[in-house]
Chain A
């Protein structure tokens, strides 16, 4: 399990920043390894990388407690790792193994984990939003002081489910934190070609949902905004919406030749790489000696090596179990 920093940052600013940095580096290196494994045909299917967007997962997850719930999309490796699903279980899932966090039935797009209350892994754009509202409804009705964080992209804002869900969440004042990862593209469609109003926070606000726009490349800003939003949601004031301005450095998926963005734009955003931004800031503040960074990278590399080895050695789910988990298994039948 990853070291989840649920302590408030004031308890030790530099140790906490190092935790956030480590989380982002873990996600980045994990996915870089995924690219290699995809090229080697060890991982198949759709593979959507999160590279460039790590600050969002690291910042938001750091504001949650283990009791909170997370609903995610098909671009969810970063969310899954930051939430604390063991990297070996995530990698084994992509290898289609029995030890995978969805027993090989989900793959990259459908990571699930009951232990960390991670409810997918949804590959229908917008499909997770109503489910998040229902989880929050259960928490509200059962009197549990729990928040559901729901991640989705800017593309999902055009779906009917976004509008239905925000209306419902606001109407019933449900404890949901809507995290919109605005990376400016839905596959190859730039946001201004898909949304009549591109200010997404404004659209959430039109449903009576308090909304903020945050620099999604700055993990400290994300974390601050997420902490404030989570605290407000937990206090019973209804849902909140965060628009996290970010960018994916890679193509939409491994199949995407990425012909719709110009190189200059990508280069410009790369200068705001969330990992570089935080390391720069920590260096400026004298918090990051060179050997600390090297140690961190070495530890992450070892963790990922171990995850790949674990996935490699894991057994396949037997074909005889193909039809398991369609309906509940009843004892005795």
Chain B
């Protein structure tokens, strides 16, 4: 076991992959000299040189598309997009090329590409730097969408993503980079097909992923004081979704609350909630609850931003509501 930050775990995964495989390289805006806008790639330029730690111009569409072409050409690119907000400039490449090429080519061409980007709010960066759009990407067949919530997963899921023969999008919540945690020795490769139970409990299933896992765990601690034993599930992978773990838990607790930093309308939480309804309706003792972001572009002012984003207290209230039901 070693203790490191989420940022260092990401860096360690990239470093190990680049040492192990010459085909792996990192490209994106400011990944080299600057060290990555969130400091993830700090020091990698010195170790691997500018060919493999490749600074790009401000051209999201071109460098994401170049990552797709490089993957088609036999390399294993990691593309960093500063935040999910800017990924919209590359949406055409991600959806119309990365996600579709295998199918449109009748299985002839795969795109083993990893795209990393930050997501989420909570740092008073206002609307154009704070949104959570991973649920949109999880809508798209042909992509794998993952959201590591712990330091160990930051390293283990990135390592596994690089082994994947298909395009993998990694959403790193901006609030997690400074979090410290333990990482197992060895490569700690994570299973990208499985959700995990982060805290076992009897009374209610709280489903979370990425940045909301911490929110859910804090809420679960508070709920314990209230005499409610909450089980917290970390989805880890939004697409393909491991609903078996969620349904298995709901079959034990008979209640569920989904926590999602996306907006409620058309949210990923809506998908999870629908699956619970489809697969475990008769297990439920109460309607599935949802804690999502208020339906506003994320505001700058601290109190307004806090009010907009899911807080542990919101989760606690929502859990009491479903537990109090029936």
Contacts and interface: CB of A to CB of B under 8 A. Distances in A.
A63 to B, nearest CB: 20
Contact of B65 (A110, A129, A329): A129
Interface stretch (A12-20, A27-35, A133-141, A233-241): A133-141
A161 B61 contact: yes
Contact of B93 (A127, A141, A325): A127
**Size range of the interface on B?**
35 or more
B244 to A, nearest CB: 15
B102 A328 contact: yes
A134 B106 contact: no
Nearest to B103: A325
A185 interface: no
Contacts of B110: 328
A121 B97 contact: no
B106 A164 contact: no
Contact of B73 (A104, A139, A171): A139
Contact of B59 (A113, A122, A164): A164
A134 B104 contact: no
Interface in B154-206: 165-166
Contact of B72 (A103, A121, A129, A135): A135
Residue from A101, A112, A132, A324 whose CB has the most chain B CB atoms within 10 Å? A112
Given A120-B105, A325-B106, A160 B61 contact: yes
Interface residues of A, number: 46
A100 interface: yes
B326 interface: no
A119 B57 contact: no
Interface in A117-154: 119-122, 124, 127, 129-139, 141-142, 148
Residue from B59, B74, B105 whose CB has the most chain A CB atoms within 10 Å? B105
Interface in B105-164: 105-110, 141-142, 144
B66 interface: yes
A134 B59 contact: no
21 contacts: A100-B106, A102-B105, A110-B104, A119-B109, A127-B65, A127-B96, A131-B68, A133-B62, A133-B65, A134-B65, A134-B67, A137-B73, A138-B70, A138-B73, A138-B75, A139-B73, A142-B74, A165-B65, A168-B56, A168-B66, A171-B57
A257 B110 CA distance: 38
A327 interface: yes
Contacts of B96: 122, 124, 127
A106 B108 CA distance: 12
Residue from A113, A135, A171 whose CB has the most chain B CB atoms within 10 Å? A135
Given A105-B104, A106-B106, A127-B97, A134 B70 contact: yes
Contacts of A112: 101, 104-106, 108-109
A167 interface: yes
A130 B104 contact: no
B51 interface: yes
Contacts of B51: 141
A164 B62 CA distance: 6
A114 interface: yes
A136 B141 contact: no
Closest 5 pairs between A and B when the two form their complex, measured CB to CB: A134-B69, A130-B65, A138-B73, A103-B106, A164-B62
Given A131-B68, A165-B65, A167-B59, A327 B144 contact: yes
Given A122-B97, A135-B70, A325-B102, A142 B75 contact: yes
A105 B66 contact: no
Contact of A135 (B73, B107, B108, B165): B73
B69 A135 contact: yes
Nearest to A317: B106
A142 B22 CA distance: 9
